[in-house]
Amino acid sequence: MLSYVVRRVLMVIPVLFGMSLVVFFMIRAIPGNPAQVILGQKATKEAVAALTHKLGLDQPWYVQYVKYIGGLLHGDLGESIRTGAPIAEEIWPYLAATIELSLAAMLIAVIIGVNAGIISAWFQNSWFDYIAMVLALIGVSMPIFWLGLMEQWLFSIQLDWLPTSGREDVRNPIEPITHLYLVDTLLSGNTDQFWQVVQHLVLPSMALATIPMAIIARMTRSSMLEVMKSDYIRTARAKGLSMFWVVYKHSLKNAIIPVLTVIGLQTGLLLGGAILTETIFSWPGIGRYIYDAIGYRDYPVIQSGILIIATIFIFINLIVDLLYAIIDPRIKYN
């Protein structure tokens, strides 16, 4: 087990290198001199040359790459052209906002999606199954921006139950510690603010949860149906085990394996920053941060933002693989 974990973790290193190389060249493949683009057509030759030099773009690419990697290894992501601040510091609040929202959305999606899939499979062809699967079908093809707007209209404007947008009540701002507000309000012991944060999370996380929830429910159902046909499930029944335990112990552990892949993929997609949802709900997340950087041609920010999102993707993949190994004893031996 341990050797598998070590091997799997070490495998991440070349992947990270490869990815950094791809991102590096991707940014440099954008046509035109970035300094020129940033400064505009009317800029003087001297100004462009100065900025080119400042960005290090006058050096050969391998020198640039080594510097860039060297910086990364020290946790240095460069500086934002727009603000002049170190990106490594500037980016965290945005990333934290996205992490909080994505994890809340995935929690909802997994709890409801997995259980709906299980019950649909258990009571195949029942009214529950039909309704859940019709909803899931609608869910996967739901335009999320529209759903978000409808949520706001119903729950905020008409019913006035929940705030329309943002992460916090501006009249009662939160003192950031980790920038994960659920954690921060708990750390400072302010339960009022904690509930405010929860209320702000409800609508955007429900909107974001919709598609993953629908995909997870469908995947869980089909995987469960497959597993429940297997011989070892018949054995479990023949022992006198109740359907509840047959389903939630013997079937689920086997059926969840392919679902984990989907959960990992969907988490990665959400963490990549759901720009549309973040925009509708004025959520100050990483998606908005990068989007704004694109508008300003802030190349170092774009580069670092993409790098971080890709890194998160790779690590989620790693976690999923390690979970496989924990769940399935057969993996360690081959």
Judged by CB under 8 A, does residue 125 bind other proteins?
A: yes
Judged by CB under 8 A, does residue 127 bind other proteins?
A: no
Judged by CB under 8 A, does residue 41 bind other proteins?
A: no
CB of 132 to other proteins, least distance (A): 17
Q: What's the token pair of residue 301? A: 């920010």
Nearest to other proteins of 178, 235 (CB atom): 235
Judged by CB under 8 A, does residue 191 bind other proteins?
A: no
On the 0-12 / 13-18 / 19+ scale of CB atoms within 10 A, 229 is exposed
Q: Which residue type is seen at 119?
A: I
Nearest to other proteins of 188, 230 (CB atom): 230
Binding other proteins (rule: CB under 8 A), the pick from 178, 235, 294, 319 is: 235
Judged by CB under 8 A, does residue 29 bind other proteins?
A: no
Size of the site for other proteins (CB under 8 A): 22
Judged by CB under 8 A, does residue 62 bind other proteins?
A: no
Binding other proteins (rule: CB under 8 A), the pick from 1, 146, 153, 253 is: 253
Nearest to other proteins of 2, 170 (CB atom): 2
Q: Which residue ranges make up the site for other proteins (CB under 8 A)?
A: 124-125, 230-232, 234-242, 250, 253-254, 327-330, 333
